[in-house]
Amino acid sequence: MSQALDHFIEQYPASRPFINWGVTAGSVFLCLLILPARLPGMELAGISPNWLLIWVVAWSVKRTLWQGAIAGLVLGLLQDAMTAPFPTHAISLAIVGAITARLQKQRYVQEDFISVALIVFGMAVVAETITAIQFSFEGGRSLLEIWTYHQFVALSSAILSSLWAPVVYFPLNRWWESMGQSDSI
């Protein structure tokens, strides 16, 4: 399959960015499709992994701050579409993308699946905290309820997301490496 694809790209070099972007967009669409599903083994007390957060981390690990933030913004808007637009998920995911991109520059983390899982763990907590702050400002829910629920949701989401992170990270990372970092933004 990959050989046939390589052959096709060699024959038609112009198609290369289109295939690259097609696969990238397709992977986002797959993450969106799996969001409402609760498959056995992917659920902990009704909470499933935050697939879009894993995608944003996988994307931002080797990219610049702005690329990470914009990817977070786009995926956050998509998650708004799947749930409710207020408070928006774009802020939390954009911040996650930006922080992940900064981490890589300081060379604190080696690039392997354990460190990616660790980054996802931390970022899931960051994202849920930002959402909880947004809910606190919005009103409508009592502060006590929000922050009690936040503890539960941040921990479950962080554990599950970090466990499932390699499933998204590995294929995407392989693909982007094979496409070459230089011509993908």
Partner 1 sequence: MFALRRWWDRYGIQATLTSVAIGTALLIRQTHGGVVLETYQWLTRPFLSKPAPPAQSSNPEMLELQERLIELESKNQRLEELLGFAQSAKAKGITAPVIGRSADHWWQQVSLGRGAQDGVETGSVVRSPGGVVGRVTSVTARTSRVLLLSDPTSRVGVMISRSRAMGSMRGNLGNRAVIEFYEKNPDVRRGDVVTTSSLSGRFPSGLPVGRIESVDTAKSPAPEAVIELSAPISALEWAIVYPKLPGETESLPAPAPSDVPAFSPTPEESSTPSPTAP
Q: What is the binding site for partner 1 (CB under 8 A)?
A: 17, 21, 29, 32-33, 35-38, 46-48, 50, 70, 73-75, 77-85, 89, 128, 131, 135, 140-141, 145, 149, 153, 156-157, 185
Nearest approach in angstroms of CB 36 to partner 1 is: 3
Nearest approach in angstroms of CB 117 to partner 1 is: 19
Distance between CA atoms of residues 131 and 92, nearest Å: 7
Nearest approach in angstroms of CB 141 to partner 1 is: 4
Cβ-based neighbour number of residue 84 at 10 Å = 10
Nearer to partner 1, 112 or 138 (CB): 138
Token pair 């009704």: residue:
46
Residue pair 181/131 in contact by the 8 Å Cβ criterion: no
Nearer to partner 1, 21 or 170 (CB): 21
Nearer to partner 1, 30 or 114 (CB): 30
The torsion region of residue 128 among left (phi > 0), alpha (psi -120 to 50) and beta comes to: alpha
Cα separation values, 13 from 2, 3, 18, 47, Å: 15, 15, 10, 43
Nearest approach in angstroms of CB 110 to partner 1 is: 28
Nearer to partner 1, 77 or 167 (CB): 77
Maximum Cα–Cα distance for the chain, whole Å? 61
What phi, psi does 104 have (nearest 5°)?
Answer: -65, -35
Q: What is the DSSP string of 102-121?
A: HHHHTT-S-SSHHHHHHHHH
Nearest approach in angstroms of CB 34 to partner 1 is: 9
Nearer to partner 1, 119 or 127 (CB): 127
